[in-house]
A and B are shown apart, each in its own frame.
Chain A
Amino acid sequence: MLTTKPFETYEAPAMAEPLFTPEEQKKFDAEIAEILSHYPADRKSAAMLPALRLLQELKGWLPPEGLKLVASRLGVTPERAYEVASFYVMYHLKKPGKYVVDVCTNLSCALWGAEKMLAYLEQKLGLKAGEANERFTLRETECLASCGTAPCLQINEDHHESLTKAKVDAIFDKLS
C-alpha cells in the first residue's frame, strides 16, 4: 500500500503577508474542527472538499499557502490538496474576478436561447467566455439542473433562472 509522507516534514516558505486575518484564522480553525468531526478520526483526509470550500469562502480562491495549510490540517501532502483542487471546476487556483459568472449552455438551455444570452453577456461585460478581468470571470458551464427554467446562470454560486434580457440587466445592475 502507498503511504503518503506527513506534511509536517515539509517546510512552508515564509510568506510576505499572513494568509488570514486574525478573524479569518479563528473562523477557519473553528470550522475545520467542525468539519473534521463529521469523519472517523483516522480519515481526516476525507474532509478535503469541505476544507477547500472553506478556504475559498474565506479568500475567494485557493492560494498556494492555503492549500498547504489545508493539507497540513488533514495530514496529507500539499500535492494531494492540489490534485483535488485542480480536478473540480468550482475551485479557483487563480484569483478570479469579483463575480464569477457561469452560464449554462447545455442542450436544454441552448434550446431556450442560452447561446444568445451568452453572446449578450460577452458584449455587456466586454469579455469572451473563458476570460476574466478584476470584476468579472465569464465562463460557459454545464447543466445546472435548471433545464425546466432555462436559460440560467450562477453568479458566485447564486442561482438565477428563467432569464430574459430584462432580468439579466436587472441582476447585473444590482451588482456593486
Chain B
Amino acid sequence: MATTAFEPLISAAWGKPNSWKLDEYKKRGGYKGLEKALEMAPAQIIDEVKKSNLRGRGGAGFPTGLKWSFVPKDSPKPKYLAVNGDESEPGTFKDRYILEHDPHMMLEGIAIASYALGVHTCYVYLRGEFKFQAERTNAAIREAYAAGIFGKKVLGKDFQLDCYVVRGAGAYICGEETALLESLEGKKGWPRLKPPFPAVVGLFGCPTVVNNVETLASVPHVFTRGPGWYAGLGTDKSGGTRLVCLSGTVNRPGVYEVPLEATFNQLIFDDKYGRGLPAGRKVKAVIPGGSSAPILSPDELDVAMEFEAVKVKQTMAGSGGVIVMDDTTCMVRSLWRVARFYAEESCGQCTPCREGTPWQTRLLRKIEEGRGEPGDVEILSNVASSIAPYPPIGLGNTICALGDAAALPTHSFLMRFRDEFEAHIREHRCPFGDKPWGAFGDWS
C-alpha cells in the first residue's frame, strides 16, 4: 500500500456540479482509458485487467480479468455484456451513487470491456425501483451516442457497440447472475444450474459476461493509470480501492471509498467515516458484507475489508454492505427480519430454500413473540443446516447461493448469541421489550 495520501478513484467527483454530464467527465480525463484500450489488441486488454488484480464488486469477488478470459474467442455466436445493477442485498447502496453521480465512468468501463470481449450489445440491468438512476443512466447513454462513443463506431474505431438500460420489477433474486439473464430474456427470475457458466452459455444461449456496476466503473482506472499502479493500491490479491456502504447504528452512515487495507474498526469509528456510535453505546455485532454475510463480534473488527482477510473469519466482504448493531439491539428480532427477507425473495425453485426459509422465519417469530419452546433453537439450527451447512461458506444444497445467503445469518447469530435466543424462550418474552432496535430505533 502506498504511503501517499489516499486518493478516491470512483467517488472523486461525487457531489460536484454536473458530475454526471459527459463534458464534466471529459474535463476530468474521462474516456482517456478507453482511448488507450482501443490502441491495444483485445487479448492485451484482458491481460492488463488480470495484472491489475481487479476483483468483482458484486459479491463474490471473482477476478475480473480471469472471468473475461473464459469467454470463448472462436465462438460464432454473438457475445453479450450484462451489467448487474440490481443492488438489492440489504445493506448495499453503492452502485446507485455511481449511477447518480458518475454514470460515464461505468459507461467507459462498458466500452472497454465490450471491445476486449467482442461484445456488440450491452444491457444494463437496473433494479426496478431505480427510476431516477435509470433516467440518469439513459441520459448519459444518449450523450455517449451523440459523442460517437457508442453506436456504429466507438471513438472512430470500426467497432459497433449498442447499450440499453433494462429495469427489473422488484425481485432480489434477479441480482443472481443467471436469474438476471433469465429476467433479461423476459422471464421470471429463476436461477439456472451452473455449469455451464454464463461466460460460455449466457444470454440467449450466447457467451455473456455479467459484471457489477462498480466493477465496470473501476475498469477505466486500470487503463488511465496502468495495471501496476492499480494493483499497487490494494493488497496482494486484490487491486484498487472499493466502495463500502455503512449503515445501522452509527453516527454517520453513508458510502465511503476506502483503501482495501482499511479495517471495520476504522470504518465505524474514524472521523473520516462513521464517527462511532451514539454516546454510551457499544458495538454488539457487525454484518460485514450485506445481510447474508455471517456477523462479526466487536473483537473481530480489526480485520481489513478485503475479500481474503474477511474470508479468514469465515464470513465475506460480499457487496460491501456493513451494518452495525449496538448493544441494545435484539438479535432475535434482527435475525427474524433478515430471515423474512430471504423467505420473501426465494424464487421457490428448490425445496430446501422454498420450504426452509419460511420455516426459519416462523420459528424466529415464535421465539421473538415469547412463544418459543425448548428445542426450537435446535430445530432452527437444523433447518438452516438443511439449506446450507456452515462453516465454511458455500456448502448450500440449492441451485443458487440465495440458499446460503438465508442460512448463513442464522448459523452465525446462533454461534455468537445462542444465550439470547435461549433467554427469549426461558422468559417467554423479548428481553428488549418494545425497544428491540437499538439506540436509533425510535423515530420522530
Which A positions have Cβ atoms within 8 angstroms of B? 38, 40, 43, 45-50, 52-53, 74, 83-84, 87-91, 105-108, 110-117, 120, 142-151, 154, 157-159, 164-165
Contacts and interface: CB of A to CB of B under 8 A. Distances in A.
A90 B329 contact: no
Given A116-B442, A117-B443, A142-B172, 15 more contacts: A87-B171, A89-B171, A90-B129, A90-B169, A105-B337, A107-B323, A107-B334, A111-B248, A111-B325, A111-B438, A111-B440, A142-B345, A147-B92, A147-B93, A158-B131
B371 interface: no
B170 interface: yes
Interface stretch (B28-36, B46-54, B145-153, B178-186): B178-186
B341 A143 contact: yes
B371 to A, nearest CB: 20
B169 A145 contact: no
Interface residues of B, number: 60
Contacts of B365: none
B344 to A, nearest CB: 6
17 contacts: A46-B185, A49-B168, A52-B169, A84-B188, A107-B91, A107-B323, A108-B248, A110-B334, A111-B325, A113-B441, A120-B443, A142-B88, A142-B341, A145-B96, A147-B247, A149-B253, A154-B129
B321 A38 contact: no
B166 interface: yes
Given A147-B245, A147-B323, A113 B186 contact: no
A133 to B, nearest CB: 22
B25 to A, nearest CB: 23
B175 to A, nearest CB: 11
B186 A47 contact: yes
Contacts of B338: 107
Contacts of B344: 142
A113 B438 CA distance: 9
Q: Which 6 A-B pairs have the closest CB atoms?
A: A113-B443, A48-B186, A88-B169, A87-B188, A147-B247, A90-B170
B169 A89 contact: yes
B437 interface: yes
B91 to A, nearest CB: 5
B93 A148 contact: yes
B186 A45 contact: yes
A140 to B, nearest CB: 10
A110 B170 contact: no
B90 interface: yes
Contacts of B101: none
Interface in B424-444: 437-438, 440-444
B337 A107 contact: yes
- By CB atoms of chain A within 10 A, which of B87, B95, B443 has the most? B443
Contact of A84 (B90, B131, B186, B253): B186
Interface in B239-291: 245-249, 253-255, 287, 291
Nearest to B290: A143
Contacts of B186: 45-49, 74, 84
Interface in B124-143: 127-132
Interface in B71-106: 78, 87-93, 95-96
A38 B128 CA distance: 18
Given A107-B91, A107-B291, A49 B167 contact: yes
B255 A148 contact: yes
Interface string B200-232: 000010000000000000000000000000000
Nearest to A74: B186
Contact of B131 (A111, A142, A157): A157
A145 B329 contact: no
Nearest to A81: B186
A137 to B, nearest CB: 14
B6 interface: no
Contacts of B91: 107-108, 143, 147
A29 to B, nearest CB: 19
Contact of A145 (B87, B162, B254): B87
Interface in B302-340: 321, 323, 325, 329, 334, 337-338
B331 to A, nearest CB: 11
B356 interface: no
